[in-house]
Amino acid sequence: MMEKSIGADAQRVDGADKVKGNALFGADRILPRMAYALPVTATIGKGRIRSIDTAEAEAMRGVLVVLTHLNTDRLKPLQFVFAGGHGIQSFQPLQSDIVLYRGQAIALIVADSLEAAQAARSLVRVDYETASFAVELDGRGSETVNQSTALPYFPDFVAGDADRALSTAAITVDETYTTPAQHQNPIELLATVAEWAGDCLIIHESTQASQGLCGGLALQLGIDPASVRVISPYVGGGFGQKNSIAPHTVMAAVAARRVGRPVKLVVPRDQVFHATSFRSAAKHRIRVGADSTGKIIAAIHEMRAQTSRFDLMPFTGAETTSRMYGIPNFRSGVTLVKLDTQTPGFMRAPFEMSAFFALEGAMDELAYKLACDPVELRIANDTHTDPITGKAYTVRRLADCLRRGAQQFGWARRSAEPRSMRDKDGTLIGWGMAAGAYPVIIAAALATVRLNADATAEVWVGGHEMGQGIRTAITLVAAEELGIEPQKIRVTIGDTIAPPQHVTAGAWGTATATPPVLEAARSVRAQLIELAGSKADSPPGSAQYGELLKRSGLSHLDGHAQWFAPGQKPEVIAKAKQGLIAIRGPEFPDCVAFSYIAHFVEVRVNPRIPRARVARIVSVVDCGRVISKRTARSQVYGGLVWGVGAALSEESEVDPRFGGFLNSNIAEYQIPVNADMGSCEVDFIDEPDLKLNSLGVKGLGEIVCVGAAAAVANAVFHATGRRVRDLPIRIEDLM
């Protein structure tokens, strides 16, 4: 009998393949006669190309062609993902002389070797006509729109009468918090290998959306989606950067068609900052009012967030801040600020990371004003009814996250006064905490599970392995149900040969892929029991599978399942098959669902050179049932690194004189390294949320960094007495 696999600390099933170099990422494909493409990008903030001279570059040995707006293929329009399309943005470079932002591609060099392409880049001569532009949230020349008016699908969140209730509050906080633009910077760069076989296009790419790429490319190129296959078995980090079709992919496809050879295009790190999405800069005015007992009676959360000049990227942080606590009177409002960059998009916990820096900072400020413990304040304002819809939450173990985290951290030993805790050498010690929530979102999926006569199995389902461990989770579910070892199961995901490959994002991957896999495996199991002719409720041991199938003259057994989120209609499968987003949640027909987290952080600050360093973090998560403990824990570690980065170092710098993002490299865009992290302790509540799916899975990828930056900032306040409301917190803020 095999050990219980689900929830156990099982190994990452693709770990060995990754370590041995057998796992093929997008750019790892090396095809015969492959050519290399490299974009040339605009060096002005905005304007148009007056002339572009590619003669010298094209004359260089090894260069096959230089594509510009003058000679490249015309593409059909692509819609922005929030306008119902497949694109990371609607604007497609190389289609005209227009330059909408610094870093936009304006030419593509295609050469025999990467070296030739690199060398030719500097030989492209461009003469620009410049135009004025805006890149700052409060800068001149921007344009603003009210989100709920411009995008009725993203309304404000309202309960009761927040303005009236706030005016009666005994204690109020009214502060402005800002978070900068940030870039995802996964280790793996954006990369496409495009090859044509006659009229059929094969794309090898690391993407979170192989179906989206398939549907989007077909539209752009005006070809049948059935003649496009996108293959993406591994992604070296996505974080939202790779969840829709970005300009480099179609450029590679067009280049491959033009030169009649496969083309590899790897977007260099310095270009990545303008080649796809990023997290918009945001500013939050947050007002919270409580009565004298610490019961919060009202909150108003108003946001300004950046979008591009040509697309409206919504900012939906109040979807979650409005339901974090039982605040009976609430109102939100969002102003979108159109700036001259590429369109911002999703970056891990896309809105919540910023919105909870504001909310959880304000909660800390409120706790100090009330002279109340911040953990107790949050527990006192917990709720089981969603103030916005009046519906019940599904499993909501926020208070348990808070209590368990406080216990594991030793929170009771904290003295509340700022600057009251010091090490022997005078180092200031700060203990801070914050909580977070993230909506449970689920997509529709189909799964096939095949059991072979040699007791190996194959699984086909939608999903993308970005390192988060979805392949491991899928394997563990199938292994347990089929009663075979995880190593005997092969999982095909991220490949449009098994549609629909839902966009893997929003922390919905596991909750979407594993329920149909369970059901399909159950069907195989039922067939095994039937073949065995046994009245028992379990099939014989896997050693007998071969014999059973042989006796019945079968080479394999197939189980199929389709699965929808609660309240989702079967029609969504058609949408998903076109690579369009087909999701449900956080509101389901009779419930509202979120994942929760509590973070406890210790920072240490040298009083002479006041640089905050994170010494330890304890985080406790309610993400429903944990399917794959090892990869889940690892995902939380990653999210905490994000929290520390957001709090202390990460910012994409803009300058109104130049446009674009200027620190476009990971030397100057600073991400925490090992020495910046201290110790991280992670725990899971691990209670299945069975209202949502048969496995009780909620979501984990996004929740882990929600509130993390606030916890660090609150700890910095406790250490230093400085309340920094503008991220990142740098030495100069603490001088």
Tell me the closest approach of the beta carbon of residue 238 to ligand MOS, in angstroms: 6
Catalytic residue among 195, 481, 650, 702: 702
DSSP SS3 for 218: helix
Round to whole Å and give the CA distance between 278 and 283. 16
Tell me the closest approach of the beta carbon of residue 208 to ligand MOS, in angstroms: 6
- Cβ nearer to ligand MOS, comparing 65 with 190: 190
Tell me the closest approach of the beta carbon of residue 218 to ligand MOS, in angstroms: 22
CB contact at 8 A, 434 and 714:
yes
Per-residue H/E/C for 353-395: HHHHHHHHHHHHHHHHHHCCCHHHHHHHCCCCECCCCCCEECC
Task: Please report, as ranges, the residues that interact with ligand MOS according to CB under 6 A.
Answer: 208, 238-240, 243, 346-348, 350, 505-506
- Cβ nearer to ligand MOS, comparing 82 with 411: 82
- Cβ nearer to ligand MOS, comparing 381 with 504: 504
- Cβ nearer to ligand MOS, comparing 216 with 240: 240
Tell me the closest approach of the beta carbon of residue 304 to ligand MOS, in angstroms: 20
Tell me the closest approach of the beta carbon of residue 635 to ligand MOS, in angstroms: 13
Tell me the closest approach of the beta carbon of residue 209 to ligand MOS, in angstroms: 9
Give me 301's structure tokens. Answer: 């959360």
Torsion of CA 538, 541, 546, 547, to 10 degrees: -80
- Cβ nearer to ligand MOS, comparing 243 with 527: 243
Residue 492 makes CB contacts below 8 A (sequence gap 6+) with: 233, 458, 459, 460, 461, 498
Give me 657's structure tokens. Answer: 């004189």
Q: Please give the residue whose beta carbon sits closest to ligand MOS in the complex.
A: 240
Give me 730's structure tokens. Answer: 């740098």
Round to whole Å and give the CA distance between 29 and 33. 12
Round to whole Å and give the CA distance between 287 and 474. 43
Tell me the closest approach of the beta carbon of residue 659 to ligand MOS, in angstroms: 25
Round to whole Å and give the CA distance between 264 and 25. 12
Round to whole Å and give the CA distance between 388 and 155. 12
- Cβ nearer to ligand MOS, comparing 539 with 579: 579
- Cβ nearer to ligand MOS, comparing 237 with 516: 237
Based on the residue annotation, tell me whether 702 is a catalytic residue of this protein: yes
Helix orientation angle between 708-720 and 352-370, rounded to the nearest 10 degrees: 40
Residue linked to tokens 């004003």 = 369
Round to whole Å and give the CA distance between 258 and 644. 46
Give the number of residues written for the chain: 735
Residue 658 makes CB contacts below 8 A (sequence gap 6+) with: 45, 102
Active-site residue numbers?
A: 702
